[in-house]
Amino acid sequence: MKVISYNLRKHRAAVELEELVERHGADVLCVQECDTTDIPERIGGLVLADSTNRNRLGLAVYYRENTYRAVEVRALALKKSLHDYVLKPAEERLLGVRLHDIDHGREVIVASFHAAPLTALNSLRRHQIRTALNELAALGEGLPALMVGDYNYPVFKENLGQKVREQGYELSLSDARTYTRYRFFRGHYDFATSVGFTIDQVRTLPQGLSDHLPILVTARLPGVAAAADVAGSAA
């Protein structure tokens, strides 16, 4: 499964999505800060599972319709920061989708996540992440789950990783920084959190119109060989 996550910076980078999906062969697309009144039903070979409807800057999840079928969708409001109360950018900060793999008969959960901005404390973002992971577990108990998005957590990531592991999940960073707008805030913001998946790679893609760089997560389920392994065996 190839999953792209992209913070569109107030919808500015929406025009790049079709090319991103086609170039990298994405199976799932998770976006943040999109205008949900101005997104298409389909992007490339992907179809819209759902989007948030109470956000000024929303979340959306697309999936490859000839590979998966959406079983259930859940949007969730998380603990609010002062920024949320004053500017109201995002009522719902988690959008989870349970997908049925048509060919293999398995189900997995994929989610788009957007944590509170840097004006909030790390402790609040950890609370949001913990709550989000608990909700994903409730969406499909025991199912493999992958949550990608903008975690807004550029420092003390080791502590976050430990907290995530205590919940049974793994935190995966990309191979290069994902935010470049302000000199003193550059770093890794966009992560993948998973359980039940093997994460082969998290790659930062070239920068476009957003201040965030998209990430490409390559994940597989237990018992499914990586593409490189299959190629090696065939040779």
Domain residue spans in the chain?
A: 2-234
| CATH architecture under which domain 2-234 falls | 4-Layer Sandwich (3.60)
* pLDDT score at 224: 63
133 neighbors 193 (Cβ within 8 angstroms): yes
Mean pLDDT, the chain, rounded, equals 89
Mean pLDDT of 120-134: 90
**pLDDT 10s digits, 12-60:** 999 999 999 999 999 999 999 999 999 999 999 999 999 998 877 899 9
Query: Is pTM beyond 0.95 here?
Result: no
**pLDDT-derived band of residue 207, with 50, 70 and 90 as boundaries?**
very high
81 neighbors 124 (Cβ within 8 angstroms): yes
**pLDDT 10s digits, 138-151:** 999 999 999 999 99
Return the ∠ at Cα 126 (arms to 125 and 131), rounded to 5°: 100
* pLDDT score at 55: 77
Dihedral sign (CA 126, 10, 42, 49): positive
Residues 6+ apart with CB under 8 A from 14: 8, 31, 34, 35, 38, 39
* pLDDT score at 182: 63
